[in-house]
Structure 1
Amino acid sequence: MADNLHARTDFVRFSLEQGVLRFGQFKVKSGRVSPYFFNAGLFNSGVSVGRLATFYAQTLAASGVEFDMLFGPAYKGIPLATATAVALASQPSMQDRSIPFAFNRKEAKDHGEGGVLVGAPLQGRVVIIDDVITAGTSVRESVEIIRHAGAQPAAVLIALDRMERAGPDDALSPHSAVQDVANNYGIPVISIASLDDIMALLQHDEQFSEHREAVAAYRNKYGVVR
């Protein structure tokens, strides 16, 4: 448990160092003004993506989820699944395995091998890898693709769980997008870190103390408790 907590804290600090996690005032897709913003697209160098993939691999290996391969939904999930498959080869518990991966295209290819899938054939227990879950659209599409191929969705692995309810302020959903995915598809959603881990950093690191109140107020208004 302590090692897991240490890894989550390390990931939050790494995200801050890379400018992927920032504090301030940000208008997000929902129209809300959030006191923090997480943009995984800013993991955009070989070194940063390599370290990110190591966090994904460590989190998946420690989760206890049994799986046979990885799937990355287009487009953000493509480099994530690819790099994580590489990083898994260095995990002590995975060194006797070579984890295959696949991803989809947004548009079907009508020449060559054709179709929308690239990579290894979808089979067995498949872990879907993405950056965050906002509306759950890419997860739904991924689950449909995996099941259509005769394979089984085993889990969803994401970088950050915002632990945030959707909907207008006067009619907030009872669950977060992550909880809805877990409930709707009956599969676990594993995250490297969550809003709780961001809050823990704010509570214990004076460098970021000025943001504590704003993030806590945002969580109290929109967050879920588990």
Structure 2
Amino acid sequence: MQTLPARIRTSARIAGHFVLRSGKTSDTYFDKYQFESDPQLLRAIAEAMAPLVPPGTEVLAGLEMGGIPIVTMLSQVTSIPAAFIRKEPKDYGTCRYAEGAPLQGKRFILVEDVVSSGGAIIDAMSKLKADGMVPEIALCVIDRQSGGAEALMAAGLALKALFRFQDIESA
């Protein structure tokens, strides 16, 4: 039976030439939609992430788009309500950028799939802070170890990763 990092590697690791969200290039890409679309693997990831959720967390907030499946399954596993953070507010209906469980006045964390530069989390955190909401920490499945944790720390948010790039690579 494969370890969880090996299962993620088998499912999602692709070799080639890729441009990351940060604009940097890499010869390795993690197609998170491959592990997020496999119900057994996604559940195993959420179960492994559950102990990383700080005690007292009232809401799990997943970032669009890759953080949404992770946060939904993590919510199922922990019984903590979920919220969904859009990159941009809707321009119709409620016009919100945060959907689902309310965040105002709650202890919440941000949940992401793969962190490279930390840019998506920093963007979301900026919107939230402007509205008086500050996340406790950020959780991710994979920290690519390419400066994201350091950028988040500089922005005032700690990152806890289920696995680091090297954990997946050596699996």
TM-score under structure 2 length normalisation: 0.81
Unaligned 5+ runs, structure 2: none
**CA distance, structure 2, for counterparts of residue 141 and residue 155 of structure 1:** 14
Deviation at 1:80, TM superposition (A): 1.6
1:20 corresponds to which residue?
A: 12
2:4 corresponds to which residue?
A: 11
2:97 corresponds to which residue?
A: 116
* Residue identity matched to 1:54: E
**Structure with a larger share of its residues in helix:** 1
Unaligned 5+ runs, structure 1: 1-8, 90-98, 165-175, 202-226
1:39 pairs with one of 31, 54, 62: 31
Deviation at 1:75, TM superposition (A): 1.4
2:61 pairs with one of 71, 75, 78: 71
What per-residue deviation string (whole Å, max 9, x for no partner) do you get for residues 95-125 of structure 1? xxxx1221133342422x4422211111322
What per-residue deviation string (whole Å, max 9, x for no partner) do you get for residues 14-65 of structure 1? 2134x2124xx4212146452x43221112132232222222223x14xx56
Please list, as runs of the form range in 1=range in 2, the aligned pairs for 1:1-226 lying within 5 A after superposition: 10-17=3-10, 19-22=11-14, 25-29=15-19, 30=23, 32-34=25-27, 36-43=28-35, 44-58=37-51, 60-61=52-53, 64=54, 66-89=56-79, 99-105=80-86, 106-111=88-93, 113-122=94-103, 123-164=105-146, 176-185=147-156, 187-198=157-168, 200-201=170-171
**CA distance, structure 2, for counterparts of residue 33 and residue 183 of structure 1:** 24
**CA distance, structure 1, for counterparts of residue 113 and residue 44 of structure 2:** 14
8 Å Cα contact 2:119-2:148 kept in structure 1: no
Deviation at 1:200, TM superposition (A): 4.6
* Residue identity matched to 2:162: I
Per mean C-alpha deviation after superposition, the further-off stretch among 75-84 and 133-142 is 133-142
Deviation at 1:137, TM superposition (A): 2.4
The 1:74–1:138 alpha-carbon spacing in structure 2 relative to 1, beyond 3 Å, is: same
Deviation at 1:189, TM superposition (A): 0.3
Deviation at 1:191, TM superposition (A): 0.5
The 1:65–1:10 alpha-carbon spacing in structure 2 relative to 1, beyond 3 Å, is: farther
Q: Secondary structure at the match of 1:143?
A: helix
TM-score under structure 1 length normalisation: 0.63
Rg: which structure is higher?
1
Deviation at 1:128, TM superposition (A): 0.6
8 Å Cα contact 1:66-1:154 kept in structure 2: no
Moved over 3 A (4+): 30-33, 198-201
8 Å Cα contact 1:11-1:193 kept in structure 2: no
